[in-house]
Structure 1
Amino acid sequence: MQLTINRIDTRYVLDNEGGGPWLVFIHQLAGDLSVWDQMAGYFRHGFTVLRYDLRGHGESGVSPDSFTIDDLADDLAQLLDKLGAPSAHVVGLSIGGMVAQKLAINHADKVESLTVVGAPAFIPEDARPTFARRAASVRERGTASIVEATLERWLTPEFRKAHPEVVEQIGDTIARTPAEGFARAAAAVSRFDARDALPSVKKRTLVVAGQHDVGTPHAASKLVADAVPGARFELLNAAHLSPVEESQRFSALVAGFLRDST
């Protein structure tokens, strides 16, 4: 299904067999809503589960202009409005975790609880050129050129060896991501900084990190938990995509957190 959000055609999938509280999953950079397929299957009987493709990802349109993480949070707020959701439990992975933080900061009325997965509180200044280089490389050579290196960062060697079919699907999603969509989103990530506003977040917050995440070290994720009053921090035996590698532990962790939040 598609809706036009802030002039961008946006794909979303709604699973509402349970007709319960709204639960939104936001995917990673160079990903799409399919990364949450397993979680949607788990939670759809007790929640109204919303997944969607960020601008320039999956089947959503590419933004003609540059944008910020705040703009992506505005996109989600408007999507919730158009779907008639008064508020939602929000789970975001990687760039999705940054969007989730900004939604809780800028649109607090839309957030019932906040789960931030594999995302920092800010991008250090010395790391910003890395995103600029990736964007430039992808614009020149396409997203297929970053598949191998990205998978090595996202998933542990043990998981990649044991689950080649999952690795192939995630690699295909990376390769299908429009180059300009990736580049504009990478630029937005490079400018992300929520440190000053996180102490104002009053929603129940869970922060999940991967013990082997080299892209977003767990110490960087812990800064989110340290900044949000009363936030809980959990470390899983995974790299960047902990909801994929540790799907059972992740779903149990989120389910327990959501039970306490509803």
Structure 2
Amino acid sequence: MQVNINGIETRYVLSNEGGGPWLTFIHQLGGDLSVWDQLAGYFRDDYTVLRYDVRGHGNTAVSGQPFSVDDLSNDLAALLDALGAPTTHLVGMSMGGMIAQQFALNHPSRVDTLTIADSAARTLPEGRAVWDQRARTARSDGVAALVPTTLGRWLTPGFQAAHPEAVEQIREVLAHTLPEGYAMACEALRDFDVSSKLGSIRCPTLTVAGRHDSGTPPAATRAIADAIEGAQFELLDAAHLAPIEQSHRFAALLETFLERPV
């Protein structure tokens, strides 16, 4: 399905077989909504599951001008408005986790619960050059040039060897991400910093990290939990895409978390 959100044609998939509460998944940089296929299938009987392609990713159009994570948060708010969702449980991975944090700060009354995986509350000054370099590479050589090193960060060698079909799908989506969409997202993540504001988040929060994540060390995700009162932190035996690599364990954690009394 396509809908125009803030002037951008945006792809989304809505699975509401269960007709239950809204549950929204937000993908990583260089990903698209397909990364959530398995988890969406797990939850669709009990929730109204929404997945969408962030601007410049998948089948969502590239922005005509630079944008911030705050803008990406506003895209999500407009999408929920268009679909008639007053509130949602929110799950974000990596870049999606940054968007989820920003959304929870901007629209606290619309978040039932917040789940953040393999993400950070800010980019440290010494990390800004990494985002600039990735943006330059995407623009000059295409995102395909970043695939080998990115997959090495995203998934452990053991998972890559055991699940070649899943890895190939992730590889294809990454390699075909539009260079300008990827580059502008890199620049948005470079400038992201909500670390001083997280204490104002009051919704139930679960954070999940991969033990072998070299790109976003588990300590960065734990720091989010430490900043939000009552937040839960879990460590999985995975690299950066922990909810995908440990999908059964993540689904069990998320199911338990969503069902706890609020």
Q: TM-score, normalised by structure 1?
A: 0.99
Question: What secondary structure, in the 3-state scheme, does the structure 2 residue paired with 1:66 have?
Answer: coil
Query: Equivalent residue for 2:111?
Result: 111
Q: Is 1:27–2:27 an aligned residue pair? A: yes
Query: Equivalent residue for 1:78?
Result: 78
- Distance in 2, Cα, partners of 1:196 & 1:152: 31
Query: Equivalent residue for 1:166?
Result: 166
CA offset at residue 52 of structure 1?
A: 0.1
Query: Equivalent residue for 1:196?
Result: 196
CA offset at residue 163 of structure 1?
A: 1.0
Query: Equivalent residue for 2:155?
Result: 155
Instruction: State how many pairs are aligned.
Output: 262
Q: Which stretches of structure 1, 4 residues or longer, exceed 4 Å deviation after superposition?
A: none
- Distance in 2, Cα, partners of 1:98 & 1:61: 20
Equivalent runs, 1:211-222 vs 2, <5 Å: 211-222=211-222
Question: What secondary structure, in the 3-state scheme, does the structure 2 residue paired with 1:85 have?
Answer: coil
Question: What secondary structure, in the 3-state scheme, does the structure 2 residue paired with 1:51 have?
Answer: strand
Bigger mean CA offset, 28-37 vs 141-150: 141-150
- Distance in 2, Cα, partners of 1:2 & 1:78: 13
Counterpart amino acid of 2:67?
A: F
CA offset at residue 64 of structure 1?
A: 0.8
Residue 16 of structure 1 contacts residue 44 of structure 1 at CA under 8 Å; is this kept in 2? Answer: yes
- Distance in 2, Cα, partners of 1:55 & 1:110: 21
- Distance in 2, Cα, partners of 1:91 & 1:16: 17
Give a deviation string over 1:94-125, Cα, whole Å, max 9, x none: 00000000000001121110000000111101
Query: Equivalent residue for 2:186?
Result: 186
Q: TM-score, normalised by structure 2?
A: 0.99
Give a deviation string over 1:178-236, Cα, whole Å, max 9, x none: 00000000000011111111000000000000000000000011110000111000000
Give a deviation string over 1:12-33, Cα, whole Å, max 9, x none: 0000000000000000000000
Q: RMSD in angstroms over aligned alpha carbons? A: 0.7
Query: Equivalent residue for 2:124?
Result: 124
Query: Equivalent residue for 2:41?
Result: 41
Residue 204 of structure 1 contacts residue 261 of structure 1 at CA under 8 Å; is this kept in 2? Answer: no
Query: Equivalent residue for 1:255?
Result: 255
CA offset at residue 261 of structure 1?
A: 4.9
Q: Unaligned stretches of 5+ in structure 2?
A: none
- Distance in 1, Cα, partners of 2:164 & 2:125: 36
- Residues 143, 261 of structure 1: CA spacing in aligned structure 2 closer, same or farther, 3 A cutoff? farther
- Distance in 1, Cα, partners of 2:19 & 2:100: 22
- Distance in 2, Cα, partners of 1:200 & 1:173: 35
Query: Equivalent residue for 1:231?
Result: 231
Bigger mean CA offset, 22-31 vs 165-174: 165-174
Identity within the alignment, %? 56
Question: What secondary structure, in the 3-state scheme, does the structure 2 residue paired with 1:90 have?
Answer: strand
Q: Unaligned stretches of 5+ in structure 1?
A: none
Query: Equivalent residue for 1:88?
Result: 88
Give a deviation string over 1:223-260, Cα, whole Å, max 9, x none: 10000111000000000011111000000000000001
- Distance in 2, Cα, partners of 1:87 & 1:26: 15
